[in-house]
Amino acid sequence: MTKGLGHAQPAIALDPRNDDIGETMRLTMYRMQVEIRESEQRAYDLFLQNLVKGTSHLSLGQEAVAVGFAAAMKPGDLSFCTYRGHAHTLARGVPIEKVLGELMQRDNGLMRGKGGSMHLTSVEHGVMGSYAIVGAHLPIACGAAWRAQYKGAKDVSVCFFGDGTTNIGAFHEALNFASVWKLPVIFVCENNLYMEYTPISEVTAVEHPAADRAASYGLERIVIDGQDADAVYRAATAAYEKARAGGGPSLIECMTYRYSGHSRADPAKYRPEGELDAWKKRDPIKIYRERLIQFGIAETVIAKIEADVKRRVDEATEKCKAAPPPSLDILTTDVYADGGWAWRN
């Protein structure tokens, strides 16, 4: 295939050994997409049983973005997520049980129930928090990247956010700041077409809410297919390489779609007839499963991955159901660094 044709697909030889991604990585990415899908579907089922409490914001349909980026990371790279952060947390290898446990507000949860669904954090996995105030974590990711730059460390911070975030001030402050300071940070916009309940196109002056603003901050305009984990992985890899080489930040807009509403309270009735079905035809897991077959991976291998994931989600669910609620003695711990909450003598 001729180089330089921007609209053309890259040449992919249908031989796993010659592919730039390779069979091992592909199987990992498939497994992880299925794991996220099954875990979030389970979270939804558990919500219907009143076992997941509070709120939850699912990424059903958006799995390829989380997985493509996580696969391109190196150990030590840092993730900053939003309240829609289950996928990004699981994609870094955080155990399903820890995530479901937090959603179910059990003692075995990631933060023992002190954070909840919107604040998943696992520092040991590089998940430096999930942030529930829209846009807040973009400047925070800049700070982590500043530390890497100052220390001469090679880690890169990545920051995931929705299309709605592109209209809040912190987005613009962070983009400008990162660009001026040339920070090793990657801003990933998951454009799922809706800010919360309102179509992003109705409230945004440009067609591509992130990418069309990139030029304002001296950055390249990048829009990718967020339903194809391979496309995400390739874009992510390029951005990581650029950041590690001292090339500064990237802003990547991933076109995707969420199958469920904004949060558990939202039945998503505002969507036009047929839109959901049209996007489900481009389901990231369906696309990827077909890709695996295309690369000659046996159906039995794929089915084994799927069964294995389902078993692990079932096991995690049972562990969480059996887990006690948080012990009351954690109520006043870790307000301050001395472990306690004393504000006076």
Residue 8 engages other proteins in binding (rule: CB under 8 A): no
278: exposed, middle or buried (C-beta count within 10 Å: 0-12, 13-18, 19+)?
exposed
Among 55, 146, 276, 282, binds other proteins (CB under 8 A): 146
Binding of residue 323 to other proteins (CB under 8 A): no
83 scored as a contact of other proteins (CB under 8 A): no
CA 254, CA 251: separation in Å to the nearest integer?
10
- Token code pair at residue 338: 């001395």
Residue 140 CB partners (closer than 8 Å, separation 6+): 80, 128, 129, 131
- Taking the complex as a whole, the smallest distance from the CB of residue 92 to other proteins amounts, in Å, to 14
DSSP string over 68-123: HHHHH--TT-EEEEESS-HHHHHHTT--HHHHHHHHTT-TTSTTTTSS-GGG--BG
Q: Is-contact 335 344, C-beta < 8 A? A: no
Site for other proteins contains 307 (CB under 8 A): no
Measured from the CB of residue 146, what is the shortest distance to other proteins in angstroms?
A: 5
Burial class (CB in 10 A: 0-12, 13-18, 19+), 53: middle
Say which amino acid occupies 59.
S
- Please identify, among the stretches 145-153, 194-202, 236-244, 291-299, the one whose residues bind other proteins according to the rule CB under 8 A: 145-153
5 touches other proteins by CB under 8 A = no
| Residue 90 engages other proteins in binding (rule: CB under 8 A) | no
- Residues 95, 115, 238, 263: which binds other proteins (CB under 8 A)? 115
Asked if 42 interacts with other proteins (CB under 8 A), we say: no
Stretch binding other proteins (CB under 8 A), from 11-19, 84-92, 116-124, 207-215: 116-124
Residues 51, 111, 193, 268: which binds other proteins (CB under 8 A)?
111
Q: Does 186 bind other proteins (CB under 8 A)?
A: no
Among 66, 73, 78, 223, binds other proteins (CB under 8 A): 78
Rounded to a whole number of angstroms, the minimum distance from the CB of residue 160 to other proteins is 15
In sequence order, what are the residues at sequence separation of 6 or more whose Cβ sits closer than 8 angstroms to the Cβ of residue 99? 39, 86, 89, 90, 109, 110, 120
Local structure of 163: helix, strand or coil: helix
User: Which part of the chain contacts other proteins (CB under 8 A), choosing from 26-34, 147-155, 248-256, 262-270?
Assistant: 147-155
**216 near other proteins, rule: CB under 8 A:** no
The SS3 of residue 251 is strand
Q: What is the H or E stretch that residue 231 is in?
A: helix 229-244
Torsion on CA atoms 75, 313, 81, 253, rounded to nearest 10: 90
- Contact call for residue 306 and other proteins (CB under 8 A): no
**Can residue 217 be called a binding residue for other proteins (CB under 8 A)?**
no
Per rule CB under 8 A, is residue 114 in the interface with other proteins?
yes
Please say whether the beta carbons of 162 and 130 come within 8 A.
Answer: no
Minimum CB separation of residue 331 from other proteins in Å reads 10
Rounded to a whole number of angstroms, the minimum distance from the CB of residue 208 to other proteins is: 23
Q: Is 139 in the site for other proteins (CB under 8 A)?
A: yes
Task: In whole angstroms, give the CA distance from residue 57 to residue 128.
Answer: 18
Interface residue list for other proteins (CB under 8 A) = 78, 110-112, 114-115, 119, 121-123, 128-129, 131, 133, 136-148, 150-151, 157, 169-170, 173-174, 176-177, 180-181, 330, 333-339, 341-345
